[in-house]
């Protein structure tokens, strides 16, 4: 009977957990997840923004490009580095997402809501192409 249990995949698991070879997600530049889909009368974008409020976000439309910006401030304790982190994966800081939309959108009637960490932007379809840029106000629920 062996004194050390046989673990044939232990070395492989340690290799893939080594942050030198595979940096954690927090060390990579990440952007929030976004779903963009079309309904019968609008184009909808949903962005995952956990821990953010409507005041942390900025939504604008320029032509047929939807731009979403956000910033989550770094907490004072994090700046001082007094916490003895073993692993830090919660991302804080700024992000920006831009997505090209169909050209037939009505930028005058855009609605943006933020609820339970999800920013939802609804852009109605238009009969004709509108080229005007517009800032969108976010409603917090």
Check: pTM over 0.85? Answer yes or no.
no
For residue 86, what pLDDT is reported?
A: 75
For residue 84, what pLDDT is reported?
A: 75
Give the Å distances, CA to CA, from 128 to 11, 123, 136: 61, 14, 20
Q: On the CB side of 46, how many CA atoms lie within 13 Å of its CA?
A: 7
Across the chain, what does the average pLDDT equal? 79
Q: Which CATH number is associated with domain 29-140? A: 2.60.40.790
* pLDDT tops 80 at residue 66: yes
Strand partners, 42: 124
pLDDT band, residue 20 (cuts 50/70/90): low
For residue 48, what pLDDT is reported?
A: 92
Domain locations in the chain as residue ranges: 29-140
For residue 114, what pLDDT is reported?
A: 95
């Amino acid at each position: 009977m062996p004194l050390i249990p046989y673990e044939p995949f232990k070395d492989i698991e340690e290799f893939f957990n080594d942050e030198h070879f595979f940096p954690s997600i927090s060390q990579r530049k990440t952007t929030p997840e976004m779903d963009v889909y079309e309904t019968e009368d609008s184009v909808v974008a949903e962005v995952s923004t956990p821990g953010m409020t409507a005041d942390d976000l900025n939504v604008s439309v320029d032509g047929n490009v939807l731009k979403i910006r956000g910033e989550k401030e770094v907490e004072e304790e994090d700046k001082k580095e007094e916490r003895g982190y073993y692993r830090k994966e919660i991302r804080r800081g700024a992000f920006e997402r831009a997505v090209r939309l169909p050209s037939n959108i009505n930028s005058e009637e855009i609605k943006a809501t933020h609820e339970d960490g999800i920013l939802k932007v609804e852009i109605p379809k238009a009969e004709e192409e509108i080229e005007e840029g517009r800032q969108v106000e976010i409603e917090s629920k």
